[in-house]
Structure 1
Amino acid sequence: MKLTISDIAKMANVSPGTVSKVMNQTGSLSSQTIEKVKRVIEETGYEPSFSAKSLATKKSNLIGLIYVGDIQAQINHPFFNEVVNAFKNMIGQLGYDILMFSKSQAGKQNHDYLDRCNYYQLDGCLIIAGDKIEEATYKLDKSHIPCVGIDIELIGPASSYVMTDNRKISARVVDYFHSSGVKDIAFIGGAVDSNISNIRKEAFIHYMNRFGLNINPNWIKHGDYFKESGYKAMKEILAEGSRPQAVYTVSDMMALGVLKALKEADISVPEDIMVIGCDDIEVCRYSEPKLATVKQDKEKIGELAAQMLHKLINGEKEVISMLVEPELVIRESAIIRQ
């Protein structure tokens, strides 16, 4: 006969809720109570069913993973892949499974994000943001469902967010170029309406002005975070006639496209033009030349998101949104040649 959570509670002389707290590592229990329940579970070989845990805790132990905005760009981009992998590893250790939302269902009657969360009785959601955020995202943010956003500032009653400090990304790049004697810097951002890209662009302009560096409007271009758009943007800059001394792109993928365009134009990197990207994806270490970048701590972002969501689910009120420090990583593409 299969044991139930009530059976374990009777054997340990505690309530089913106490057994649930021990299994889910939540609540305040004495070490003696925890050990007593664990001993019964171990001796009986009890394995809680999904329904048992759900009934005892009024939780499904399911987390929704929602890509909002331009889903194709996010799913295919190495940055988001690494963040989500770190999140999945940590949230799994905390006792949750993940339900990924199908984009094709969004917007249909009774199938917006909030409706679907309620239908599946999700405990909370991780929201990965791209460009052109749907209104349904903000409806979910305003709800009772605990949510953590990555690259989107959620401000709802049960929400929080974690992202890299995007202003500091641009600050690190401009400061490095300025201290290296570089004055003429091109900027290649994401889409014109990309919130994250615009934060980095505004910070780039701010720090260029702060250091007294001239901004050439012809050297400010936009792409889509992928290699081909970086390649195209660099070709357009070269077609202007005058050349910058350095190029800063808001993604490593676009920076790889820049390197390709410069190689085709027989322009040496970093001797003629230096290049710095952003994200520190794995391929940076193997490009030719090796790509300098601003590292976003993808593992830390994913793990923090999981821990924050777990706290929100368990009723912690003071879950503070976090900005993660970026790190400038100088490799061959931005080394100053003497």
Structure 2
Amino acid sequence: MKLTIKDIARMAGVSPGTVSKVINNTGSISPKTIKKIMKIIEDTGYKPSFSAKSLATKRSNLIGLIYAGEVNVEFNHPFFNQVVNAFKSAIGKLGYDILIFSNNEFSNDRENYLKRCKHFQLDGCILIAGEHLEEAVYELDQSNIPCVGVDIELSGPSSSFVTTDNSKVSAKVVEHLYLNSIKEVAFIGGPEDSIISNIRKEAFINNMNQFGMTMRDHWMQYGDYFEDTGYKSMKQILAQRPFPQAVFAASDMMALGAIRAIKEAGLKVPEDIKIIGCDDIEACRYSDPPLATVKQDKDKMGRLAAHMLHDLINNNTEPSSVLVDPELVIRESCLVGTSYMKMQTRG
């Protein structure tokens, strides 16, 4: 027979409300009573039901997952997929389930995210960045529903966000190239109206200027973070001479497309042109040559988002922002001088 919260309360000689408070770790319950109830739960193998968990708190223990933007990211996106997996694991351990919002249905129904949250009585939301954010995102942000954005700078009264320090992304790339006497560098960014890409572009330009490095107009190209536009952008860069010594692409997928274009032009990576991407997706390790990149700590971002949202829901913290430091990962596509020769010898 399946036990209920009333059965546990009867065995412990307390009210169901007291059992619920112990399960949800709320209220002022004596250590002796907590120990007694927890032992009964452990001995009987009782699994709290959804209604039992939410009885004391009047919460759903549900989190909304929103892939935001009119041009939204896909479930299999190589960067955000890993962030969401880390978030899912961490938020599950904190006692929540996830409800995924359908962006397409949102567009058709002309409903807004805030109404959906209230309808499902969600405790909070995580918003994953897309492009061209819809007004409904900002409406939700400015509500009292706890929200955490990933690569979206939220500013609402109950909102926080976590993102990579995108200025440091470009700074690390330019500094590395400068220290290796590479001073002619092209840039392939995301969409020209992309906030994240523009942060990387401005930091790239500022650091290039700081070190007196060479930029040319046709060396500044833009794509959509995916391989085909990296390929097309690199073709534009190679359409005129002189060629750059190195290319920094704002995503690994565009960097992989750039490598394809360089090879088609009869040039070699890294001997003729060096390539650095951004994200450190799994494909970087298996490309030919293996792709140098700026690693964003996807696992940390997902776990931080989960704990930040949990704290907002429980009023344990004030809204805040967290910038996660990136890490430069040098692989064969950007090796220079003796380092490259040694690797070729080992190979």
Shift of 1:21: 4.3
CA contact (8 A) 1:64 1:101 kept: yes
Hey, what does 2:138 align to over in structure 1?
A: 138
TM-score by length of 1: 0.94
Shift of 1:26: 5.6
Shift of 1:24: 3.8
Shift of 1:158: 1.0
Residues 271 and 26 of structure 1: is their aligned pair in 2 closer, same or farther, counting only changes over 3 Å? farther
Hey, what does 1:93 align to over in structure 2?
A: 93
Q: Does 1:205 align with 2:205?
A: yes
Deviations 1:202-254 (A, max 9, x none): 11011111111232121001001111110000001000222000000010000
Q: How far apart are the structure 2 equivalents of 1:26 and 1:80? A: 34
Q: How far apart are the structure 2 equivalents of 1:173 and 1:15? A: 61
Q: One-letter code of the match for 1:147?
A: C
- The number of aligned residues is 338
Deviations 1:239-272 (A, max 9, x none): 0222000000010000000110111111111111
Residues 66 and 154 of structure 1: is their aligned pair in 2 closer, same or farther, counting only changes over 3 Å? same
Hey, what does 2:301 align to over in structure 1?
A: 301
Deviations 1:116-147 (A, max 9, x none): 00000011101001110011001001111111
Residues 10 and 221 of structure 1: is their aligned pair in 2 closer, same or farther, counting only changes over 3 Å? same
Hey, what does 1:215 align to over in structure 2?
A: 215
CA contact (8 A) 2:70 2:134 kept: no
Residues 20 and 159 of structure 1: is their aligned pair in 2 closer, same or farther, counting only changes over 3 Å? farther
Q: How far apart are the structure 1 equivalents of 2:11 and 2:71? A: 49
User: What SS is found at the alignment partner of 1:186?
Assistant: strand
Hey, what does 2:53 align to over in structure 1?
A: 53
Hey, what does 2:259 align to over in structure 1?
A: 259
Q: One-letter code of the match for 2:255?
A: A
Hey, what does 1:161 align to over in structure 2?
A: 161
The range that moved more, 245-254 or 313-322, is: 313-322
Tell me the percent identity.
63
Q: One-letter code of the match for 2:303?
A: E
Residues 332 and 55 of structure 1: is their aligned pair in 2 closer, same or farther, counting only changes over 3 Å? same
The range that moved more, 47-56 or 205-214, is: 47-56
CA contact (8 A) 1:276 1:294 kept: yes
CA contact (8 A) 2:276 2:294 kept: yes
Hey, what does 1:125 align to over in structure 2?
A: 125
Q: How far apart are the structure 1 equivalents of 2:30 and 2:202? A: 52
User: What SS is found at the alignment partner of 1:137?
Assistant: helix
Hey, what does 1:313 align to over in structure 2?
A: 313
CA contact (8 A) 1:17 1:57 kept: no
CA contact (8 A) 2:151 2:162 kept: yes
Q: One-letter code of the match for 1:113?
A: Y
CA contact (8 A) 2:255 2:275 kept: yes
Shift of 1:14: 4.9
CA contact (8 A) 2:72 2:131 kept: no
User: What SS is found at the alignment partner of 2:23?
Assistant: helix
CA contact (8 A) 1:271 1:337 kept: no
| Alignment RMSD (CA, Å) | 1.9
User: What SS is found at the alignment partner of 2:136?
Assistant: helix
Q: How far apart are the structure 1 equivalents of 2:69 and 2:117? A: 18
Hey, what does 2:283 align to over in structure 1?
A: 283
Shift of 1:197: 0.4
User: What SS is found at the alignment partner of 1:272?
Assistant: coil
Shift of 1:42: 1.9
CA contact (8 A) 1:141 1:156 kept: yes
Q: One-letter code of the match for 2:22?
A: V
The range that moved more, 310-319 or 1-10, is: 1-10
Which runs of 5 or more residues in structure 1 are unaligned?
none
Shift of 1:25: 4.6
Q: How far apart are the structure 2 equivalents of 1:256 and 1:109? A: 38
Residues 21 and 171 of structure 1: is their aligned pair in 2 closer, same or farther, counting only changes over 3 Å? farther
User: What SS is found at the alignment partner of 1:191?
Assistant: coil
Q: How far apart are the structure 1 equivalents of 2:30 and 2:20? A: 14
Deviations 1:142-166 (A, max 9, x none): 1111111000011111110111100
Deviations 1:279-330 (A, max 9, x none): 0011101100010000000011001111111111111133532110100000
Residues 25 and 330 of structure 1: is their aligned pair in 2 closer, same or farther, counting only changes over 3 Å? farther
Q: One-letter code of the match for 1:63?
A: I
User: What SS is found at the alignment partner of 1:57?
Assistant: coil
Residues 11 and 330 of structure 1: is their aligned pair in 2 closer, same or farther, counting only changes over 3 Å? same
Q: One-letter code of the match for 1:290?
A: P
Q: How far apart are the structure 2 equivalents of 1:318 and 1:144? A: 13
